[in-house]
């Protein structure tokens, strides 16, 4: 499915990023793995970068070869980390890396952003999302203070804004055939699952009761791989819930079904 493609995968050292990188390689891709720390077992070619730092991203973009056929933006921080760091990695750094890389991507490339079920409330956050449209690294502290972005809200907001950014860019690079989509996992059994439970408390426990089990990285990676493949060429600006039915449950509750 990915035979002969060169794919960039951020967050490749653990969790969903590691599972995606490994699956892409098994499916025939040459993987360019990116993470802040070097994994014990590298998939493909490894590049170290701190996605909270603009200069580090600039060095990464310069080092990555031109002509990649896909970018999987999977690196992210959990809601237990400081709010400013969460916004820098999950939103500002992701957007900056993507826009800087687009000129180096091959025509027809696919971009996949790892969002989250935590972002489903984006319609109620439009004022904050509009205000973040031109947010840069230096502006994050003031933005957080002005908009009350603290604690777990940083994670929820970063995913809300990311979903909207994905929708907005459905046709931005259509003249080159470059498409962008998102995947929104529900609770996934990764090293940061405990961070969500710790942060959300009773709410997280109630959500988990509606599911048969938490997801695993192996549940999410094939969806990312499909969106990186030619089989998804006419899917643009879509956010795919991959959550064991959690989003459907939320929708039913919202509308009285």
Q: Which residues contact 154 (CB under 8 A, 6 or more apart)?
A: 79, 82, 83, 84, 86, 87, 144
**Residue 257 known to be catalytic:** no
CATH code, residues 6-254: 3.40.50.720
Q: What are the pLDDT digits (tens) for 14-33?
A: 999 999 999 999 999 999 99
Spans of all domains in the chain = 6-254
pLDDT surpassing 90 at residue 85? yes
Residue 205's pLDDT is 64
For the whole model, what pTM was predicted?
A: 0.95
Average pLDDT over residues 75-101: 97
pLDDT surpassing 90 at residue 56? yes
Nearest to 169 by CA among 99, 93, 68, 231: 99
pLDDT surpassing 90 at residue 225? yes
Q: Which helix (H) or strand (E) holds 45?
A: strand 45-48
Give residue 96's pLDDT band: very low, low, confident or very high (50, 70, 90): very high
Is residue 197 within 8 Å of residue 254, measured between CB atoms? no
Q: Considering the candidates 96, 155, 247, 257, report the single residue annotated as catalytic.
A: 155
d(CA 17, CA 35): 9
Q: What is the dihedral of CA 242, 119, 75, 176, to 10 degrees?
A: 80
């Amino acid at each position: 499915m990915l035979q002969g493609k060169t794919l960039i995968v951020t967050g490749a050292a653990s969790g969903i990023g590691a599972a995606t990188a490994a699956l892409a390689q098994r499916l025939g891709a040459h993987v360019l793995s990116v993470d802040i720390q070097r994994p014990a077992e590298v998939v493909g070619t490894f590049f170290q970068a701190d996605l909270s730092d603009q200069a580090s991203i600039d060095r990464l973009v310069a080092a990555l070869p031109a002509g990649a056929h896909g970018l999987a933006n999977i690196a992210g921080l959990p809601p237990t980390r400081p709010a400013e760091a969460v916004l820098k990695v999950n939103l500002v750094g992701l957007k900056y890396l993507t826009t800087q890389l687009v000129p180096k991507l091959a025509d027809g490339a696919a971009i996949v952003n790892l969002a989250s079920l935590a972002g489903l409330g984006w319609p109620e956050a439009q004022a904050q999302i509009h205000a973040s449209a031109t947010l840069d690294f230096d502006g994050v502290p003031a933005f957080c203070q002005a908009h009350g972005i603290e604690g777990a809200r940083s994670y929820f907001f970063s995913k809300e804004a990311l979903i909207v950014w994905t929708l907005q860019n459905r046709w931005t690079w259509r003249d080159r055939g470059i498409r962008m989509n998102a995947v929104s996992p529900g609770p996934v059994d990764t090293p940061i699952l405990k961070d969500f439970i710790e942060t959300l408390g009773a709410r997280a426990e109630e959500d988990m009761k509606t599911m048969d089990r938490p997801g695993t990285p192996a549940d999410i990676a094939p969806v990312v791989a499909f969106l990186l493949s030619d089989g998804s060429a006419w899917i643009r600006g879509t956010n795919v819930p991959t959550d064991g039915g959690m989003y459907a449950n939320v929708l039913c509750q919202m509308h009285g079904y």
